[in-house]
Amino acid sequence: MATAEFGKAVRRWRDRVAPDAAGLPAGGHRRAPGLRREELALLSGISVDYVTRLEQGRASNPSAQVVDALARALRLATVERAHLFRLAGLALPDPDTVPGYITSSVQRVLDRLTGTPVAVYDASWTLLQFNQPYAALMGDPPGPHDPDRNGAWRHFAGRGIPSRRTPEATRAHEISLVSDLRAAAAQYPADQRLRKLIADLRAKSVRFADLWDSGAVSRREAAQKTIDHPRVGPLTMDCDVLTVAGSDLRIMIYTAEPGTEDAERLALLTVLGTQTLSG
């Protein structure tokens, strides 16, 4: 059961995070130097109404996923994150489960990639964090309780993403997703959420079940994606996935070849997204 101190702590830590440090535009009149509630909501994938109720002490049972999302968005140090969990009346996540916390050193790297679409996933391909260019490219990501927050679920059983791949590239992508989940399940056998995700995918998707049961494995390679964007048209970009040693975080980065029409469209999209956010 979260206490009133939980809301006070969130508000206090929100006030100390500068918008530009979080990759957000800092313009416009601000009553405080830190993040606005709607900005914290955007960064954490939580509704503005829920952030408001948490800060005002009117929502007293935040889940571990919500507390972790707030800790990431607020750039909390390890000891501060532990304190926020205590204030929420929750135990820290089991070290034998898939880790989902973004360390301050990785956060500093992400904060500097303000002009590049970047998303961070855990080892089970659940979206943890994204920046404004990524949201402008892919649309607002699903909320923390939406099954489509998980990339494997979204591909095999959800609404998918607006990308075009060849049949060969699609098969390679699917095998890599299944391989990643297989590796995560072997590394974190105590993670009940991961076991449920795999069971639900096998029940929901024949394609996933066939690949899982076949024992197919592969190594993830860099790939190109063409995103059909409703505002700027198709963008063909390189998609690279970096793995953070010691945490199994996956940093997905989209870039376009400099000097190409794709690069110009991506730059325009980033500007349009910033205008939408600050408007």
Question: Do 122 and 248 contact (CB within 8 A), yes or no?
Answer: yes
Question: DSSP secondary-structure letter at 157?
Answer: T
Q: Would you say residue 7 has pLDDT above 50?
A: yes
Specify whether the backbone of 28 is left (phi greater than 0), alpha (psi in -120 to 50) or beta.
Answer: left
What is the model's pLDDT at position 48? 93
DSSP letter for each residue of 17-56: S-GGGGT----S--SSSS--HHHHHHHHT--HHHHHHHHT
Q: What are 28-82's pLDDT values in tens digits? A: 677 777 899 998 998 888 899 999 999 998 887 888 889 988 998 898 888 899 9
CB neighbour list of residue 49: distance below 8 Å, 6 or more residues apart: none
Question: Distance of CA 229 to CAs 50, 128, 136, 279, Å?
Answer: 30, 23, 9, 21
Q: What are 253-276's pLDDT values in tens digits? A: 999 999 999 999 999 998 887 554
Q: What are 153-163's pLDDT values in tens digits? A: 999 999 888 78
Q: What are 74-104's pLDDT values in tens digits? A: 988 888 999 999 999 998 877 788 988 887 7
Q: What are 120-147's pLDDT values in tens digits? A: 999 999 998 888 899 899 988 888 788 9
What is the model's pLDDT at position 141? 85
| Structural domains in the chain, sorted by start | 4-87 (1.10.260.40), 104-278 (3.30.450)
Question: Do 265 and 276 contact (CB within 8 A), yes or no?
Answer: no
Query: How many CB atoms sit inside 10 A of residue 127's CB?
Result: 22
